[in-house]
């Protein structure tokens, strides 16, 4: 299993970047080759909406060259020592560990590269390629993503597995103890939102509690309406006011987008979902990255979403 490959244009892509590009633009590449030894590889879990397992590249017929970091030499031969995230927790799922800036879309004008030679590159060439990509190899590429929806789906997958654990089933009659166990395990999974270190429990914040200071992944349900700059999602059952704490404050999520001309496939799908909810007067379930703050009138909270990758909406409850 490998995480870095070259496409038919000779560009280096991490497997998670391929998935992000598919979700964002609908991009599909024709072929991939190992970034270090040129053998043909196939993308796995890169094309599709669901988060089931970490995207990666699988070899087809040929083995990786012995000196390839994905071959017999391994990463350790180059002084690269990486932990496996799934071994840290009680559930078997590879969770993305970082939210990173999105990779720019291809211009589409790069000349198509010549298919690599069927022979392995020289040992010196492989070593040079590894040296040039050492920074990428030190951080497991499949553990990064630029899309909030991938983190939301990963969290859902992890929660589903945690509730099925034998330890969790023993606590089925005690809801408080069950939730303490499940979310205690979830807190062990690290997550970095750009430069902010957190974990899969603390990074996600339901809107029913008083907001933390800073930027987090908030979630809830709301009614959608169109606004001059895109959409507004309004949730009535927001954080408590202070004082008195018993009064709930509404939350408005302002989504900036071009409804007529979405910038990419991901924004188009968001628009379609929200327009459907408006037409049917249905609730929309949302995740949004940003800061939840009191508005100027101090009678409600608001969160402004400027980038398509920072919001995920669905008509189905997560």
pTM of the complete model: 0.86
pLDDT tens, the chain, 318 aa long: 788 999 999 999 989 899 999 998 889 999 999 999 999 999 998 998 776 677 889 999 899 999 999 999 998 889 887 655 544 566 666 788 889 998 876 666 666 777 788 889 999 999 999 998 887 776 655 578 899 999 998 899 889 989 999 999 999 999 999 999 999 999 988 899 998 999 999 999 999 888 889 999 999 999 999 999 999 999 988 888 776 667 888 999 999 999 999 999 999 999 999 999 999 999 999 999 999 999 998 889 999 999 999 999 999 887
Residue 87: per-residue pLDDT: 47
pLDDT at 211: 86
Reduced 3-state DSSP string for the chain? CECEEEECCCCEEEHHHHHHHHHHHCCCCCCEEECCCCCEEEEECCCCCCCCCCCEEEECCCCCCCCCCCCCCCHHHHCCCCCCHHHHCCCCCCCCCEECCCCCCCCCCCCCCCCCCCCCCCHHHHHHHHHHCHHHHHCCHHHEECCHHHHHHHHHHHHHHHHCCHHHHCCCCCHHHHHHHHHHHHCCCEEEECCEEEECCCCEEECCCCCCCCCEEEEEEEEEEEECCEEEEEECCCCECCCCCCCECCEEEEEECCCCCCCCHHHHHHHHHHHHHHHHCCCEEEEEEECCEECCCCCCEEEEECCHHHEEEECCCC
CB 215 within 8 A of CB 289: yes
Q: What is the pLDDT of residue 103?
A: 81
């Amino acid at each position: 299993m490998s995480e870095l490959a070259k496409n038919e244009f000779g560009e280096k892509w991490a497997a998670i970047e391929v998935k992000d590009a598919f979700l964002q633009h609908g991009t599909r590449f024709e072929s991939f080759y190992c970034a270090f030894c040129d053998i043909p590889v196939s993308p796995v879990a890169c094309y599709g909406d669901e988060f089931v397992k970490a995207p990666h590249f699988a070899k087809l017929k040929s083995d990786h060259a012995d000196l390839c970091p994905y071959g017999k030499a391994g990463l350790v031969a180059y002084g690269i020592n990486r932990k496996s995230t799934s071994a840290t927790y009680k559930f078997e799922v590879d969770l993305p560990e970082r939210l990173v800036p999105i990779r720019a879309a291809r211009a589409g004008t790069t000349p198509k590269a010549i298919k690599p030679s069927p022979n392995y590159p020289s040992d010196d060439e492989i070593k040079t390629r590894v040296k040039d990509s050492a920074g990428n190899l030190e951080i497991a590429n499949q553990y990064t993503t630029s899309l909030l929806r991938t983190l939301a789906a990963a969290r859902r997958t992890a929660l589903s597995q945690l509730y099925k654990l034998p330890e969790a089933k023993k606590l089925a009659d005690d809801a408080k103890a069950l939730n303490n166990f499940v979310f205690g395990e979830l807190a062990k999974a690290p997550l970095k939102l750009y430069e902010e270190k957190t974990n899969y429990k603390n990074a996600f914040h339901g809107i029913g509690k008083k907001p933390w200071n800073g930027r987090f992944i908030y979630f809830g349900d709301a009614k959608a309406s169109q606004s001059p700059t895109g959409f507004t999602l309004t949730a009535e059952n927001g954080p408590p006011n202070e004082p008195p704490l018993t009064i709930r404050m509404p939350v408005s999520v302002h989504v900036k987008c071009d409804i007529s001309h979405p910038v990419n496939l991901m924004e188009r799908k968001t628009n379609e979902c929200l327009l459907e909810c408006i037409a049917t007067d249905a609730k929309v379930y949302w995740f949004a990255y940003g800061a939840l703050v009191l508005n100027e009138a101090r009678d409600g909270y608001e969160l402004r979403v400027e980038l398509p990758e920072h919001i995920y909406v669905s008509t189905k409850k997560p």
